[in-house]
Amino acid sequence: MTARNPERYKIETLAIHAGQAPDPATGAVMTPIYQTSTFVQQGVGEHKGYEYARTGNPTRTALEACLAALEGAAHGLAFASGMAAIDTLLKVFDPGDHVLAGNDVYGGTFRLFDKQYKKYGIEFSYVETTDLEAVRAALRPNTRWVWLETPTNPRLKVADLRAIAQAAHDHDPAVRVVVDNTFATPYLQQPLALGADVVVHSTTKYLGGHSDVVGGAVLTSDPQLHARLAFLQNAAGAVPGPLDCFLVLRGIKTLAVRMERHGENGLAVAQFLADHPQVAEVIYPGLESHPQHALARRQMRNAGGMVSFFVRGGPGAARALVARTRLFALAESLGGVESLIELPAAMTHGSTQGSPLEVDAGLIRVSVGLEHKDDLIADLAQALHSL
């Protein structure tokens, strides 16, 4: 299968085959790790499509084609991290451009907007993306980009991608809607099919899936934007190495089955927490109590593996709880096979302190992994019991 005809296949099949024809040189079924920095030329400029590995590497090409196929995009580019992917996209923005972003985004994304790109004359403002009228009202004459996460990190708000993309394009057809699809993955949610223009990923998370690699990607069907991003990928060089590309490709092969189980375990953990007397509030789009539950059911295949919650006793009790789980490891990141727990305000979202995006100090975020749900629930039960 080539990336040219992926639309004939379903996502489970694309995850295993897209961009990954057996190696033409040897017949190797798995895409080889082309661990080389340069490629021999038969004459000046005469080569087999590869010159220098910052510009292109066959293992990276396979990953880029696979990711593009999964998101239904014409083009894909892989980067050294999710932040490198986001940074490359931000380099396309011009001084005077206005970026309308959700008011709950990954702390590192906010930090890059606020501490770096604002000083280049790019305007950022933040809006409640669960409120379509608020989004419409916040679009400005110079709005060029709408930046969305859904579900958001860490409050798990769900934005209506179809409605927001429509509103943004009605406002000005030149506006580009960017969706960070890291939490949902293309298995659970397809932003481009819903009208978005660009998808970004931290492939470090569910796509890699095993907490053993850092990576990122940008996917789009816009040929001009892709050409500009490909120029920047080569010119600035924030590229992933071939081993990292291989690890993400290998992780993606099991994406569909992993995401099914992440969703099942996520729901089981959320239901357990919702019934627990020590828990004050649970935020999980798969629970009927979630304000955008109906939208999440429409827009996502399942509600995924991320659950946020508050315990009774405030930030002090939250700190005590995250230190007492045994299976849920206290660590940043998410989306791996193993379960993780963290306090966003003090860890992943420290940079939002004092900003309109500041995260409540007592909010606990868990990435529910693929262990047996009974063991995960027992672990949370013992930690809650000892509060």
Identify the DSSP state of 368.
-
Instruction: Verify binding: residue 180, ligand PLP, rule CB under 6 A.
Output: yes
Looking from the CA of 352 toward its CB, the CA atoms found within 13 Å total 23
Which residues, 65 to 124, sit near ligand PLP by CB under 6 A?
A: 81-83, 106, 108-109
From 34, 50, 106, 206, the catalytic residue: 106
Instruction: Verify binding: residue 191, ligand PLP, rule CB under 6 A.
Output: no
Which residues share a beta bridge with 38? 52
Identify the DSSP state of 194.
G
284 is catalytic: no
> Residue with the closest Cβ to ligand PLP?
82
How many residues bind to ligand PLP according to rule CB under 6 A? 16
Q: Which is nearer to ligand PLP, 97 or 149 (CB)?
A: 149
54 is catalytic: yes
Residues 6+ apart with CB under 8 A from 190: 71, 72
364-367 and 340-342 as β-strands: parallel, antiparallel, unpaired? antiparallel
Q: How far is the CB of 149 from ligand PLP (least distance, A)?
A: 6
Residue 142 contacts residue 98 (beta carbons within 8 Å): yes
Q: How far is the CB of 201 from ligand PLP (least distance, A)?
A: 8
Q: How far is the CB of 340 from ligand PLP (least distance, A)?
A: 11
CB burial readout 57-78, b (16+ within 10 A) else e: bbbbbbbbbbbbbbbbbebbbb
Identify the DSSP state of 27.
-
Residue 255 contacts residue 209 (beta carbons within 8 Å): yes
Sign (positive/negative) of CA torsion 314, 318, 319, 320?
positive
Which residues share a beta bridge with 43? 46
Query: What is the CB neighbour count within 10 angstroms for residue 321?
Result: 25
Among 102, 216, 266, 362, binds ligand PLP (CB under 6 A): 216
336: left (phi over 0), alpha (psi -120 to 50) or beta: beta
Amino acid at 44: V
Q: How far is the CB of 214 from ligand PLP (least distance, A)?
A: 5
Instruction: Verify binding: residue 185, ligand PLP, rule CB under 6 A.
Output: no
From 144, 157, 176, 205, the catalytic residue: 205
131 is catalytic: no
Instruction: Verify binding: residue 149, ligand PLP, rule CB under 6 A.
Output: yes
Q: Is the peptide bond before 277 cis (omega within 30 degrees of 0)?
A: no
First to last CA, the chain: 54
Instruction: Verify binding: residue 202, ligand PLP, rule CB under 6 A.
Output: yes
Q: How far is the CB of 83 from ligand PLP (least distance, A)?
A: 4
From 9, 54, 111, 253, the catalytic residue: 54
Q: How far is the CB of 82 from ligand PLP (least distance, A)?
A: 2
Q: What are phi and psi of 208, to 5 degrees?
A: -65, -50
Q: Which is nearer to ligand PLP, 85 or 321 (CB)?
A: 85
106 is catalytic: yes
Instruction: Verify binding: residue 214, ligand PLP, rule CB under 6 A.
Output: yes
Among 182, 220, 265, 339, binds ligand PLP (CB under 6 A): 182
Instruction: Verify binding: residue 352, ligand PLP, rule CB under 6 A.
Output: no
From 87, 104, 160, 180, the catalytic residue: 180
Active site members: 54, 106, 180, 205
Task: Write out the residues near ligand PLP by the rule CB under 6 A.
Answer: 81-83, 106, 108-109, 149, 153, 180, 182-183, 202, 204, 214, 216, 348
